[in-house]
């Protein structure tokens, strides 16, 4: 995968029929659904069947399982994700026919034309913050359009075409997609080196956020003053004077400040102070990091003119997104959670929250599936140190996603780094063996959490079934 350069955008109503390659993906399916809801002729294919594919078909979208050049008959525009390789038969046919080929980010950006765009960016916390903003605005009767990287727990939907003027998107930095979106408000939750397989160096990665925040449409940039990378970005932007910077966090320098935090259990709360106004922010999700995300959402709502009390109530209505500290099940005194955390900082935040949820003599048992060979190679030691926050760790082999193997890079690197950092780790390379391995480990009072951006999410439900069978 390489960085995506922004392209000229066209009115989405003029580009159909549109064929989506990998239409069943979490990101692609939402964009496709909005095009369909706008009345555009949409069709698409995916390598495997899925719930997303079936839902699109039920809504009237023509879908296929498997890729075939014949599927492009009549299409004028083809939309691809970063995971689609150049030799994909449908992409190769689109290029041969000279069809318009857009990356998913361009297709999404076109939907934002003429709207009040809000881009939520950052190394961590994008999905949750986008979900909070969407929920908050919906609660305030703004009826926003939105596209989120994971479905809202309350509705099961990751995308919505609203009647209001606001369009909220989760802006992915991994492949430069965030440079495409025409947004007047930009949120940067944090900036910490990642995706170096595309960006090359931490400095280039940081400079990407600078470019995104200084696009000509941007009027406001909301940044987390507690995060060194985001604070550096704010300082850079304030020197330019081209945008208004709004800061949030626990620091006394924050314009929107969090004080008196309560982090115990599966909820979190804090007093939010904005100038002379203050009120209690009560979340239905745990963790200091979620209070920070909530403060970012509050800033967006304030910039859009929504009142203080309405913002607090709207954020408080957020119940999470799937795969973000999601409860999979409870069997007796054992709780099983699942989380998308796939970067060392995310592991620290999630395991820190898990530590506050577990009670008595219960242990935190982490089951981690590393994501990407390059990320495992670059951050193995950091992963190991983060995993020591769990009492017991099981590490699986790497979920490759879009990458080819790198010689000598396996999940065992993380397992060994965890032991070297003083953690208690076990290496179970085959994910098929993970449910039984975890079932052997747990005892009453334990909290088990599966971690990673790959298919480790399938482990929790199987584990719950095994535990129910033995209870």
Active-site positions? 126-127, 170
126 marked as binding residue? yes
Computed from CA positions of residues 27, 196, 457, 120, in that sequence, does the dihedral angle turn out positive or negative?
Answer: negative
426, β-bridge pairs:
394
Q: Would the annotation count 342 as a binding residue?
A: no
Q: Is 127 annotated as a binding residue?
A: yes
* Cis amide prior to 17 (ω within 30 degrees): yes
Q: Which of 329, 325, 298, 367 lies closest to 139 in space, CA to CA?
A: 298
Cα distances (Å, whole numbers) of residue 16 to 36, 77, 121? 10, 6, 29
In the chain, the N- to C-terminal Cα span, in Å, equals 46
Tell me the sheet residues that pair with 408: none
C-alpha dist (Å) from residue 23 to 48, 161, 339: 10, 18, 24
Whether residue 157 is annotated as binding a ligand: the answer is no
Say if residue 122 carries a ligand binding annotation. Answer: yes
Strands 256-262, 268-274: pairing is antiparallel
- On whether 359 is known to bind a ligand per the annotation, the reply is no
Indicate the annotated binding residues for ATP: 122-128
Indicate the annotated binding residues: 122-128
């Amino acid at each position: 995968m390489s960085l995506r350069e922004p392209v000229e955008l066209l009115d989405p109503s003029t580009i159909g029929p549109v064929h989506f390659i990998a239409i069943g993906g979490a990101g692609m399916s939402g964009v496709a659904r909005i095009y369909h809801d706008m009345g555009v002729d949409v069709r698409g294919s995916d390598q495997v069947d899925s719930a997303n594919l079936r839902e699109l078909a039920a809504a009237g979208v023509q879908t296929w399982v498997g890729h075939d050049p014949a599927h492009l008959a009549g299409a004028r525009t083809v939309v691809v994700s970063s995971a689609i390789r150049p030799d994909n038969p449908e992409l190769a046919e689109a290029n041969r026919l000279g069809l318009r080929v857009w990356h998913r980010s361009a297709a999404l950006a076109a939907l934002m034309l003429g709207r009040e765009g809000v881009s939520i960016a950052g190394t961590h916390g994008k999905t949750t913050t986008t979900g909070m903003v969407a929920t908050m605005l919906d609660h305030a009767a703004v009826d926003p359009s939105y596209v989120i990287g994971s479905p809202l727990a309350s509705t099961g939907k990751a995308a919505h075409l609203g009647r209001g003027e606001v369009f909220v998107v989760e802006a992915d930095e991994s492949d430069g997609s965030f440079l495409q979106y025409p947004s007047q408000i930009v949120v940067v939750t944090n900036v910490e080196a990642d995706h170096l397989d595309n960006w090359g160096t931490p400095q280039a990665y940081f400079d990407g956020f600078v470019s995104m925040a200084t696009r000509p449409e941007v009027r406001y940039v909301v940044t987390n003053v507690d995060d060194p990378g985001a604070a550096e970005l704010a300082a850079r932007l304030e020197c330019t004077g081209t945008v208004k910077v709004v800061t949030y966090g626990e620091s006394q320098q924050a314009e929107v400040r969090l004080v008196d935090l309560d982090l115990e259990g599966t909820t979190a709360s804090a007093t939010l102070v904005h100038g002379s106004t203050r009120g209690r922010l009560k979340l239905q999700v745990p963790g200091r990091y979620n209070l920070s995300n909530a403060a970012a959402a509050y800033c967006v709502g304030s910039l859009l003119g929504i009142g203080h009390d309405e913002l607090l109530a709207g954020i408080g209505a957020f119940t999470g997104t799937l795969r973000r500290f999601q409860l999979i099940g409870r069997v007796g005194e054992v709780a099983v959670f699942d989380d998308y955390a796939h970067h060392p900082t995310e592991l620290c935040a999630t395991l820190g929250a898990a530590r506050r949820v577990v009670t008595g003599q219960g242990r935190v048992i982490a089951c981690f599936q590393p994501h990407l060979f390059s990320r495992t190679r670059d951050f193995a030691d950091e992963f190991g140190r983060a995993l020591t926050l769990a009492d017991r760790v099981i590490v699986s082999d790497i979920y490759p996603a879009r990458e080819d193997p790198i010689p000598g890079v396996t999940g065992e690197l993380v397992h060994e780094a965890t032991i070297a950092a003083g953690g208690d780790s076990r290496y179970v390379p085959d994910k098929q063996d993970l449910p039984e391995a975890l079932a052997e480990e747990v005892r009453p009072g334990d909290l088990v959490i599966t971690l990673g951006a790959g298919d480790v999410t399938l482990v929790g439900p199987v584990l719950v079934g095994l535990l129910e069978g033995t209870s």
